[in-house]
Structure 1
Amino acid sequence: MNPTAAPDATAWLHQGATLRQQGHTEQALSCYEQALSLPDAPPAAWFNAGNALFDLGRWAAARQRFESCLALPPPLPAELSEAAHLQAARCAVKQGELGAARVHFAAVLRLNPQQFSAWLEAGHVCRTQGATEQMIGAYQHATAAAPQRWEGHLALARGLEDLARWDEAAASYHRALLCTDTAADGPRLRLRQHHQMARWRLERGDAARALEALRAALACLPPPRPDDAAPALGLNEWAELHIDLGEILIRLGLTDEAHRALEQASQATAETTLSRLAELAFRSNLWQEAQAVLRRNVTLHPDSATAHWNLAHALAESWQMEDALAELARAEALAPMPGARSMRASIAGRMGDAATALQLYRELAAEEGPRSKMVSSAAMSTLYCDHLHPAEVAALHRTWFAPLGEGARSPAAFANPRQPERRLRLGLVTADFHHQHPVNIFMQPVLRRLDRQQFECVVYFVGVSYDEQTHLAKQRVDRWVECTTWSDALLAQRIEADGIDVLLDLAGHTSHQRMALFARRAAPVQATFLGYPGSTGVPNMDWIVADAVVAPPEHAPLYSERIARLPHAVFCFAPEADYPFPTLPDAHATRPLTFGSFNNVPKLTPHTLGLWAQVLHAVPGSRLLLKAPSFKDPGAVRRFSEAFQRLGIAPQRLLFRGPTGLADMMAEYADVDIALDPTPYNGGTTTLQALWMGTPVLTRCGHTFVSRMGASFMQAAGLPDWVAHSDADYVAIAQRMAADRPGLLALRRGLRQRLLARPAWDIDRYTADFGALLRHIWGAACT
C-alpha cells in the first residue's frame, strides 16, 4: 500500500485479507478497523473484522461485528447475509447463548434451505439443549442437503445412538463410511470417522462400543514396522489414538492394558498431545507420571507459556506450592496468563491463607458475573475464614447465589405422582465416586444396603476420574448416566424424563458442581448431602441433610434450606477396606505424648495454629505431628515451622509427614495419642478415621455446620468430654487428657469396640435411617 496515498476501504480490505492469509491476524484486524473508520464503510469491512476477531477467539466482539453487518441498510447481498448469520450463530455457540444461535441458524436456513453447515451445527445445538427430535430433524436435513458429506451421516448416527435407536444408527454410520470409499485418502478419513465415533461414545459413557470404534480406527492403519513407532500417521496422531484407547480401557477396568496404551502415547512430542496425556494421567491418580510428562513438555517447548502453565497447575494440585508458584512466574514471563489470579487464590487457600484466597475469588467473581465458577470458590473459602461471623457467611451465600434461581421451575410443574408410600426414584448428582474421596468413602456402604424395594437409584455422573471404586458404584445402583459434558438444560431434561422424585446434590460448591442445575430446579424435591459442610445458599435447594448437633434448631436462620436431621450422626464411617487396629503396647503410656493432625493445610488457619501452640505450651514435653500432602513440599514445612516458632514452639517439637497410601496413613495413627481438630473447619473423614484407628479427637464446637462436625462425631461416640466450647476449654481438656496417660491408653485400646457398639457406627441402621429421611422429605412434598 502506498503510504502517501489516502487509502480507501477497498485497499484496507485487500491488505487485511493478505495479512490474514499469512497468519497475521492482529494486523489484519487493524486493517479492517481502519476500513470501518472511513465514511460509508462497506458491509465486507464489518464481516471481515468479525472473521478476524473470531480467529482470535474474541467471540463477543466478533458477534457484534457480524450483527452490525446484518443491521446495515438493505440491500445486503444474500450471500453475505447468509455468511454473517452463520458466523454470528457460531459466536453465540461459543458464548453459550444457544437460543440466540438457533435464531441465527434459522435465518441462514430461510435464506438457503440447503445450507449444510447450518443444519449440521443447528443439530449440535439442539443436542446440547436436549431438543432430541429437533436434533434428529436437523441432522436428517443436513444429510439430505449434502448426501456426499460424511459428517452429517456420522452426526446422525451419534444422535440416533443417544436415543438407543441402534439399527438406524448403524445404517447412518455405514453411510458415513461409504462416503469415503472413492476418496483418495479413504483409509485416513475412515480412521477419522471411527476415532470421532469412539470419542462420542466414550463421552456418552458407552465404553464398550467406544472400544469397538477405536479398534476399527486402529485397523485402518497398516501393521507397524519395528523401526516405525507411528505407521501411516504422524507420531502425535498415533499418540492421540492411544490416549483415547487408554481412557476407554480405564473405563472398562482394564488398568494394566490402559497403562500400556498411555506408555505408547508418551512418545508424543506435540505440546497439546502431551498436555492431554498428562491430564488423563493426573485424573487417573497417576500424579507422578503426569508431572513427568509435563516436565518433558516444558523441556521440548521451553518458550511455551501454556506448557509452563500446565506444569504449574499440576504442581499446585499435587500440593507442591513453591514449585507451582515458580512455574507460574515462568509462564507469566512468557505471556499474560488470564487464570493466574485464580491459581494464586487456589494456592493461597492450600497454604492456609483463606483470607487472601477469599479476596482473590471475590474479585474474580465480581469481574466474571454471578454465574462464574469463582462464586462457588469464594463460598468455599468462607468456610475456612476465622474472621467471618456465621451469619455473615450465610448472608454471603444467599446473596451470591440468588441470581441462579431466576426462571426456576416450580415443584408443581413436575408430573411425579404425589404418593407418599410408593417406590421412589432417587437421583444422585456427583463427580466423586473414586479413590479416597469422602463422598465415595461414605456413600459406597449406603448404596450397597439401600432398600431397592423402596428406592430406585440413578447416578448422574458429572466427573472425569474413574477407577475401581467408580466401577463398584456403577454395580450398586439401578442406572448410571454419564453426563460430564452435558449442559444443565440437557441434564435437567434427562432427570425429568427419568421421573426422579428426590434429587441429591453430593458436591455443594466443590469441584464439578452443578449448582445452577439445582437453582433452576430439576426435580420436585432437591436436597444437598455430604459434599459441602454447610448451607449452599442456592435457591430451590429444598433440604440439607444434617443431625441435631451440626445443625441444631436454633441455627435454622443460618440455612437457606430446610433441615432434615438423621437421628445419630450426619455421616457413618463404615470402611469396606480392612484397616488392622494398631498394637498399642504399655510403652505408649510413657513415651513423649504426641498430638497430631492429618487434616489438609487449608484447615490450618492462624486461629488453629495459635490454639495448638497453646496446647503444646500447656503440655510440656509434648510433640505435634502434622501430616498432609503439602508437607512433601519443603517450602510448606518451612512456613509452618516458622509460624510455630513465632508462637514460641521450637522446631524439634514438630514432626512433618507427607502423603502416603491410605492403608499406610491409617496405620500412622498409632503414632498419635490425641488428634487435634482444626477450627473453624473441622475434620470430617480425618476425624472418623482417627477414631477408627484408636485415636481420640479433641474438638472445639463452633456455630456452623462445618465447625460442629467434630462435636457431632465425639458425642455420637459417647465422648462428650472431648468437646470444647471455647479456646480456654480446648486447652484445659488437652491438658487434663494428656495428664492421665494410663486412662488415655485404655481408651485408645478399646475405642474401635466402643464405636461399633454405638448406633452411629451401625451402617445397617444408618442406611435405614437415611431411607426414612428420604421418605420424610418426599412425604413433606406430598402434603
Structure 2
Amino acid sequence: MSQQSRNKGASAPSLHTSAILDQAVAAHRSGNLSDAERTYAAILRGSRTHPIALHMLGLLHAQRGNFADAEPLLKKAARVDPGNPDVLFNYANVLRALNKPDDALAWLAKTIALSPDFADAYVNRGAILMARQELRGAIAEFDRAIAIAPSSAAFANQGSAFQQLGQLDQAHDSYQRAVELVPSNPHNHFVLSEVLAQMGRHDEAIAALEKTVALNKAFPFALSKLVAARRKRGDWRSFEREQAALDEAIESGVAVDPFTFFHTSSSPAHQLTCAKTYVAEVAPDRGAARPRTPSPVSRLRVAYMSADFCNHAVAYLAAGLFEAHDRERFDISAISYGPDDRGKMRDRLKAAFERFEDVSHVPDEDVVKLIRQLDVEVLVDLGGFTAGARPKILARRAAPIQVNYLGFPGTMGASYMDYIMADRIVIPEAEQKYYAEKVIYLPHTYQATDAKRPILPKLPARSEVGLADDAFVYCAFNRTSKITPVLFDVWMRLLGKTAGSVLWLLDADPIARENLRREAVARGIAAERIVFAPFAAADEHLARHQLADLYLDTLPYNAHTAASDALWAGLPVLTCLGTAFAGRVAASLLNAVGLPELVTRSLDEYETLALRIAHDSELRTALKSKLAAHRSTWPLFDTVGMTRHIENAFNEIWRRHRAGEAPASFAV
C-alpha cells in the first residue's frame, strides 16, 4: 500500500482542514492509528467527499486487514480523485486482497496509464498473474518494474516465477539480486536457500538458512528446514541446541514444518500444536461449506489424493489396496498432483483406479471444482504435510468427508479433516485429545501392505554388496534423518559387543556417509564397520534384506514402509515403542505379524534384546522361521482383508454423515 497522497485533480481543502489532516497523517505514519482514524472520520463528517481523508481512512482499514471496510472508502476516493495514481493503486490492492483479481488488474492498468513509471504497480500486476500461474506474463511485469526501479520485491517475485517454471539458474540470479539489494531481509535468504537446495548446492543452501535464522529466529519454517538439512547429512554438531530451539519455537507459536518436527518430537501434544500453527499459516480454514451431499447411488464414491502415485513408498504400500477394492460397492478415483515418473508403478496405479486425474498443473481451486464435479463423497488424503502436499485443496472443503491416512503419521491439526485412520497401538484411546481428527480404529494395524510385491528369487552374494560372509549384519535401511546421536550410541555399543559385526545403512548422501563414519570412529568403532548400500530397484532392495541378520529400528520416528519391507522380505525387526504415532508404527506392524516379542519399551531393553539375538543363533533361526510362517497367515500382509476393513470404515463414516451425525471416533 502507498501512503502518499498526490491529490492530483482534487479541490483544495481549507487551511484549517489541511492542518488537521496533516496532524492525522502524522499520527497515522507514527502508528497512532486510533487518533488518525478519529480525525479522518471527523473530516468526512464535514465533507463526505474529502479525497485525502477518504483515501487515508481506507488505507488505514486496509493496513489493519479490514479490507471489506476499506473497499467502499477507496472506491469513493478513486471516483472523487481519479487522477491520483496512489489512490487507484491502493484501491487495486484492496480489490486483490478481496479476491477480485480481474478488477484489481483493471485498476492497476489505470494506475499505470496515469503514471507509467509506477514500478510497484507492475510488481503487483505480476504477483496477480503469478497467483494465476500465468508465470511468463508475471515475469514480463517484473522486468518492467526492474527497468524502472530495481527492487528487492521485484527480484524476489521474479525469482519465484522462474523457480515455478523450473528455470533454476534464472531463479537463483533473481534471488541473489534481491539479497544484494536488501541483505537484512530474512525472506530473501530463505527463498535463495530453497532454490540452492533444488540445484543440489546444499552447503550454500544451509548457509542461506543459517543467515535467515540469524536475522530472525522466528522466520516461518527456516529453523525446521535448517534442522532437516543438517540431519539429512548426519550433521549432529548442534543437535541438542537445535532440538531445544525447535521445541521453543513450537511453544512460541512459530511456524515449523510438521514433517520435520514429527521426526524430532516424542510429544503428541507438541505435534498437535505444531500442526495447528502450520495450518493457520499455510492452509487456514476459510469456513468453506461442506459440498452438497450427492444423490444416493449404488456405489460409494471415494477418491484418494496424493503426490506419490509413482515410485514412492506410499504407492508400494497402497497399490494392492487400490486394486482390491470391491468395484460393485465402491467407485474409486485417484487425484494425482505429483510428478509422472513414467515408471512401472505409475502404470500399475493408473490401471488400479476407475479414473486417474492428473492435476499436477491444475490450480487448487480448479482441483476442488473437479472433485466436486466427480461427486466424491469420501476424499482420502495420503500426503498430509509431506513433500509436495497441497492442503489448500482440503481447506476448501473439496468433499463432504475428508480423511487423513497412511502418508503422514500424525494429526494435521485442521478442522476440515474429519477422520484419521489408525489402530490402537499408534493412537491409544487416551491420546485422542492430541488429534484434531476423529479416530477410525482399524482392527489389526493401520498400515496397508501389498502382498503382490515381488522379491528377486536369486540373492547376490554377500561379497557383491560389500559384506563379509561371516559378519553379523545389523541392518537399518532408513533415512539418515531418522538416526539420532542417542540411538547411534546404542548401535555402536552393539557393534563393540558383537565380534565381527557391521552396521548396514542406506547410502543416500556422500557427506552423510562421511559424517556417520566419523561419528562411529569417535565412539571407538572402525569406519569400515559401517557399510553403505547403494540405491537399488525395488525388487533388488527387498531381496538384499535377506543377507542381513537383524533390522534395527529408529526412534523417535520408526521405520514405516522400511519396516514393512524388512518383514515382507523375512528379516525380523527390533523396535522400541515410542510415545507418538510415528514412533509406534513398527510395534503396530510386529503385533499384526505375530512378533510382539520384538517390541521393547526402552532403549536399554532394545540394546539388551539386540545383543541376545546377535549372540543366540537358535533364537535368530526361530524368529525368522516364525516370521516366514506368519507372513502368509497373519493380518499384516492380508491385503484383501485390510481393504474390507477400510471399506467398512468408509461405509460407516458415510452412514453417519447421511444421518446428520457429527464425526466421531469408532472401531471397525
**TM-score, normalized by length of structure 1?**
0.58
> Is the contact between residue 616 and residue 623 of structure 1 (CA under 8 Å) also seen in structure 2?
yes
Pairing 1:655-670 to 2, within 5 Å after superposition:
655-670=531-546
What is the CA–CA distance in structure 1 between the aligned matches of 2:78 and 2:592, rounded to whole Å?
76
SS at match of 1:629: coil
> Is the contact between residue 67 and residue 84 of structure 1 (CA under 8 Å) also seen in structure 2?
no
SS at match of 1:535: coil
Tell me the alpha carbon deviations over residues 307-353 of structure 1, each in whole angstroms, 9 at most, x when there is no partner. Answer: x9999768846988557657999999xxxx99986753441242356
Tell me the alpha carbon deviations over residues 555-599 of structure 1, each in whole angstroms, 9 at most, x when there is no partner. Answer: 322322111122222223326552225659999998221111110
Partner in structure 1 of residue 357 of structure 2: 481
What is the CA–CA distance in structure 2 between the aligned matches of 1:397 and 1:495, rounded to whole Å?
25
Of Structure 1 and Structure 2, the greater helix share is in 1
What is the CA–CA distance in structure 2 between the aligned matches of 1:517 and 1:779, rounded to whole Å?
24
Q: Percent identity?
A: 24
Correspondent of 2:577 among 694, 701, 716: 701
Partner in structure 2 of residue 596 of structure 1: 475
Does 2:233 match 1:351?
A: yes
Tell me the alpha carbon deviations over residues 116-169 of structure 1, each in whole angstroms, 9 at most, x when there is no partner. Answer: xxxxx99x989989xxxxxxxxxxxxxxxxxxxxxxxxx9xx9xxxxxxxxxxx
Tell me the alpha carbon deviations over residues 212-263 of structure 1, each in whole angstroms, 9 at most, x when there is no partner. Answer: xxxxxxxxxxxxxxxxxxxxxxxxxxxxxxxxxxxxxxxxxxxxxxxxxxxx
What is the CA–CA distance in structure 2 between the aligned matches of 1:302 and 1:126, rounded to whole Å?
23
What is the CA–CA distance in structure 2 between the aligned matches of 1:428 and 1:318, rounded to whole Å?
31
Aligned AA (1:778): W
Aligned AA (1:347): A
Q: Which moved more, 1:346-355 or 1:101-110?
A: 101-110
Pairing 1:500-579 to 2, within 5 Å after superposition:
500-574=376-450, 576-579=452-455
Partner in structure 2 of residue 777 of structure 1: 653
What is the CA–CA distance in structure 2 between the aligned matches of 1:542 and 1:414, rounded to whole Å?
16
Partner in structure 1 of residue 324 of structure 2: 449
> Is the contact between residue 476 and residue 504 of structure 2 (CA under 8 Å) also seen in structure 1?
yes
Does 2:490 match 1:611?
A: yes
Pairing 1:455-466 to 2, within 5 Å after superposition:
455-466=330-341
What RMSD, in angstroms, separates the aligned Cα atoms of the two structures? 5.4
Describe the shift of the 1:560–1:627 C-alpha distance in structure 2 as closer, same or farther (beyond 3 A): same
Describe the shift of the 1:315–1:688 C-alpha distance in structure 2 as closer, same or farther (beyond 3 A): farther
Correspondent of 1:394 among 272, 286, 308: 272
- How far is the alpha carbon of 1:550 from its aligned partner? 1.6
> Is the contact between residue 78 and residue 88 of structure 2 (CA under 8 Å) also seen in structure 1?
no
Describe the shift of the 1:696–1:510 C-alpha distance in structure 2 as closer, same or farther (beyond 3 A): same
> Is the contact between residue 429 and residue 503 of structure 1 (CA under 8 Å) also seen in structure 2?
yes
Describe the shift of the 1:363–1:728 C-alpha distance in structure 2 as closer, same or farther (beyond 3 A): closer
What is the CA–CA distance in structure 1 between the aligned matches of 2:558 and 2:64, rounded to whole Å?
44
> Is the contact between residue 318 and residue 450 of structure 2 (CA under 8 Å) also seen in structure 1?
no
SS at match of 1:756: coil
Describe the shift of the 1:531–1:110 C-alpha distance in structure 2 as closer, same or farther (beyond 3 A): same
SS at match of 1:537: coil
Tell me the alpha carbon deviations over residues 692-738 of structure 1, each in whole angstroms, 9 at most, x when there is no partner. Answer: 22211110012221111111111112111111111121112112211
Partner in structure 2 of residue 170 of structure 1: none
- How far is the alpha carbon of 1:524 from its aligned partner? 1.9
> Is the contact between residue 555 and residue 583 of structure 2 (CA under 8 Å) also seen in structure 1?
yes
Partner in structure 2 of residue 30 of structure 1: none
Tell me the alpha carbon deviations over residues 658-677 of structure 1, each in whole angstroms, 9 at most, x when there is no partner. Answer: 43443443333233210100
- How far is the alpha carbon of 1:480 from its aligned partner? 3.0
Does 2:99 match 1:99?
A: yes
What is the CA–CA distance in structure 2 between the aligned matches of 1:324 and 1:406, rounded to whole Å?
32
Aligned AA (2:555): T
What is the CA–CA distance in structure 2 between the aligned matches of 1:60 and 1:366, rounded to whole Å?
26
What is the CA–CA distance in structure 2 between the aligned matches of 1:751 and 1:781, rounded to whole Å?
41
Describe the shift of the 1:126–1:772 C-alpha distance in structure 2 as closer, same or farther (beyond 3 A): farther
- How far is the alpha carbon of 1:750 from its aligned partner? 6.9
- How far is the alpha carbon of 1:749 from its aligned partner? 6.3
- How far is the alpha carbon of 1:74 from its aligned partner? 7.7
Correspondent of 1:472 among 338, 342, 348: 348
Correspondent of 2:562 among 666, 686, 696: 686
What is the CA–CA distance in structure 2 between the aligned matches of 1:514 and 1:428, rounded to whole Å?
13
What is the CA–CA distance in structure 1 between the aligned matches of 2:301 and 2:506, rounded to whole Å?
41
Describe the shift of the 1:349–1:106 C-alpha distance in structure 2 as closer, same or farther (beyond 3 A): same
Pairing 1:354-373 to 2, within 5 Å after superposition:
none
- How far is the alpha carbon of 1:541 from its aligned partner? 1.2
Aligned AA (1:454): R
> Is the contact between residue 590 and residue 741 of structure 1 (CA under 8 Å) also seen in structure 2?
no
> Is the contact between residue 501 and residue 529 of structure 2 (CA under 8 Å) also seen in structure 1?
yes
Q: Which moved more, 1:495-504 or 1:347-356?
A: 347-356
Describe the shift of the 1:661–1:545 C-alpha distance in structure 2 as closer, same or farther (beyond 3 A): same
Does 2:502 match 1:626?
A: no
Pairing 1:366-445 to 2, within 5 Å after superposition:
375=255, 377-385=256-264, 388-398=266-276, 400-401=278-279, 406-409=285-288, 411=290, 414-417=292-295, 422-435=298-311, 437-445=312-320
What is the CA–CA distance in structure 1 between the aligned matches of 2:526 and 2:335, rounded to whole Å?
50
Describe the shift of the 1:107–1:473 C-alpha distance in structure 2 as closer, same or farther (beyond 3 A): same
Describe the shift of the 1:431–1:478 C-alpha distance in structure 2 as closer, same or farther (beyond 3 A): same
> Is the contact between residue 618 and residue 731 of structure 1 (CA under 8 Å) also seen in structure 2?
no
> Is the contact between residue 694 and residue 750 of structure 1 (CA under 8 Å) also seen in structure 2?
no
What are structure 1's unaligned runs of at least 5 residues?
1-8, 11-42, 48-58, 112-120, 130-154, 159-194, 197-270, 281-292
What is the CA–CA distance in structure 2 between the aligned matches of 1:601 and 1:318, rounded to whole Å?
21
SS at match of 1:699: strand
> Is the contact between residue 85 and residue 104 of structure 1 (CA under 8 Å) also seen in structure 2?
no
> Is the contact between residue 221 and residue 257 of structure 2 (CA under 8 Å) also seen in structure 1?
no
> Is the contact between residue 584 and residue 749 of structure 1 (CA under 8 Å) also seen in structure 2?
no
Describe the shift of the 1:106–1:562 C-alpha distance in structure 2 as closer, same or farther (beyond 3 A): same
Larger RCO (CA under 8 A, 6+ residues apart)? 2
Aligned AA (1:495): I
Aligned AA (2:287): A
**TM-score, normalized by length of structure 2?**
0.67
> Is the contact between residue 361 and residue 378 of structure 1 (CA under 8 Å) also seen in structure 2?
no
What is the CA–CA distance in structure 2 between the aligned matches of 1:323 and 1:660, rounded to whole Å?
29
Q: Which moved more, 1:313-322 or 1:97-106?
A: 313-322
> Is the contact between residue 529 and residue 545 of structure 1 (CA under 8 Å) also seen in structure 2?
yes
- How far is the alpha carbon of 1:531 from its aligned partner? 1.1
Does 2:379 match 1:497?
A: no
- Would you say how many aligned residue pairs link Structure 1 and Structure 2? 555
- How far is the alpha carbon of 1:489 from its aligned partner? 3.8
What is the CA–CA distance in structure 2 between the aligned matches of 1:74 and 1:532, rounded to whole Å?
49
Partner in structure 2 of residue 737 of structure 1: 613
- How far is the alpha carbon of 1:753 from its aligned partner? 5.0
